[in-house]
Structure 1
């Protein structure tokens, strides 16, 4: 049985609600047992506030799960009287960090096969004393990963990003032959190992309109992106481009490519969220552990109001299970060979 840990995220956000809805509305993948790393009292409060039927059971590493219950490894006990939906505190921040830390430990110790993260508050993480911009950087620190990137993954489209949280004006100076070729390698390896494709087809989007039109609209394609593609292609990676951004995503969604390497945040995220706004999954590539995440934030404005949707969480659990299985198959195949 594959045990997957779901970290509750910020206790003041929509994490507790989407967890409750996931267990109430979704059947986990065959052979998969999800367990929650979080706060049982907050989950119970959420169930009571929103009228969601839920039975909880205590779970400890190595234990079997009681059927028809939500198994919880209780890592915090936030008093309900001091808890308010949409209002994070230092106490909730410390708790959400602890869920992440313990999940990594449990994977390392062999008690969990993967972790699925509900949303956290980046500013609250700082208040808790952790100087990380977000989930990913904290996980990189905890696992010692050297090469990593974010992939947004759905059934129709998968994208990785050469730059993420920087201004459009700074994108050109933040892309290099080395960084793009390395991103192509990480994407290629993930598609082979995590998604089980023997020879994934990777497309690279250009930076400028019409991919620069032979230098007329910019020279980044000629001087940076094309050399990076050629370097990666020389390593037996099936990668082509740079393609005009206004057509490459349509072709990828139609099945011509398995993943698209994008130059900046909105270039990749706009088409991705158009197709996968509800069921998109954030996957951290390059970690020694399997980590997927919901593709949305804490949504403090709707927390505790019964408006949250668990579709992304369901997709994240399913994808975590599939990646875990694919990694085992890949390891077995490479060990035999």
Structure 2
């Protein structure tokens, strides 16, 4: 039985509907899982035409859930006024619609109707215009599941990256590199990667300063904060190494020496992932009652509705959701 993956449409005015439509034509995806789009049928019908795709839409009854191979299977939420839809523009109506797709997908996942969720991008300004009190997917998922502090992991090809800090200034991120925070992140990262089915993982921690600080020559965070945290975790049985210079640790993880790397700040890990393969970088949200994957790009309003956007990241998001859904505990 192939897992059913709920695929949320994202902001209807963005590229989400287009990348989904294109991704659902990928034979590899359809061999691995059964994607079900959670969104507006009217939007999907129009987007299939924009992208020049010939496909039938099968609207599922939520009770029977009769999936039909060879069709675009959907849970239809009729919440978009097609006459007023302007692609590439911030819209409160589209922000509200995007939030309602997430609500429904979470409901389906918690009810066991779908095994995992793959999300297309939402627009923060549209969410704000709709008075949706959440800035993005993570905050929505926290509220809708009751889970606090879910853990984000990037995956691209063989490289997995966790983040000690994310949306804070670089100065603030450096201040947040403390013994206790690094230690807790090591433990959380091990738990998360094991939930994905990785047995006996080896985790590496990136250094903060050039050359790993050179024993205090270029900064003392490695000696005073990072190394003590790693030793404490290693003494408790965690297979963790570091701090390793950031200019090399991501490469070694990508070729298989480590199963994941803890990045200490936002761009340290983002640059590594996106230089390896920009289009195939996928964000995975751990510690929820279900697995959630997402494309790692925005609504791309500048090219929305033109049918030219690449679907590569959406394919990867659905593919990883299908693969990990079989092992996620």
Q: CA deviation at 1:188?
A: 1.1
In the alignment, which residue of structure 2 is the partner of 1:248?
249
Classify the secondary structure of the residue corresponding to 1:81: coil
SS at match of 1:321: helix
State the distance in 2 between where 1:38 and 1:83 align: 14
Unaligned 5+ segments in structure 1 are 332-337
Query: Equivalents in 1 of 2:117, 2:34: separation in Å?
Result: 12
What is the CA-CA distance between 1:147 and the residue it aligns to? Answer: 4.1
Match of 1:298 in 2: 299
Instruction: Give the whole-Å Cα distance in 2 for the aligned partners of 1:88 and 1:26.
Output: 33
Distance 2:297 2:30 in 1: 22
Gap regions ≥5 residues in structure 2: none
Distance 1:236 1:147, change over 3 A: farther
In structure 1, the partner of 2:308 is 307
- Contact conserved, 1:11 with 1:88, CA < 8 A, in 2? no
Kindly report which structure 2 residues correspond to 1:149-298, keeping only aligned pairs within 5 A, or say none: 149-194=151-196, 196-298=197-299
Distance 1:206 1:76 in 2: 49
Partner of 2:95: 93
Decide which of 67, 78, 91 is 1:65's aligned counterpart.
67
> Residue 77 of structure 2 aligns with which residue?
75
- Measured on the aligned residues, the alpha-carbon RMSD in Å equals 1.5
Q: CA deviation at 1:213?
A: 1.0
Contact 1:149 1:183 in 2 (8 A): no
Corresponding residue pairs, total: 327
Please state if 1:46 is matched with 2:47.
yes
Q: Provide the rounded CA distance (Å) in 1 between the counterparts of 2:79 and 2:40.
A: 6
Residue-by-residue CA offset, 1:10-67 (whole Å, 9 max, x unaligned): 0000011011101223332546211000011111112223322221111122321122
d(CA) in 2 for partners of 1:233 and 1:186? 14
TM-score, length of structure 2 as denominator length: 0.95
TM-score normalised over the length of structure 1 = 0.93
Deviates more, 1:23-32 or 1:289-298: 23-32
Question: 1:185 offset after TM fit, Å?
Answer: 1.5
Q: Select between 70-79 and 33-42 the one with higher mean Cα deviation.
A: 70-79
**Map of 2:33 onto structure 1:** 32
Cα distance in 1 for residues equivalent to 2:47 and 2:284: 27
Give deviations 1:142-201, integer Å, cap 9, x for gaps: 11223422111122211111111111121121222222222211221222221x222111
CA contact (8 A) 2:22 2:51 kept: no
Question: C-alpha distance in 2, partners of 1:176/1:123?
Answer: 33
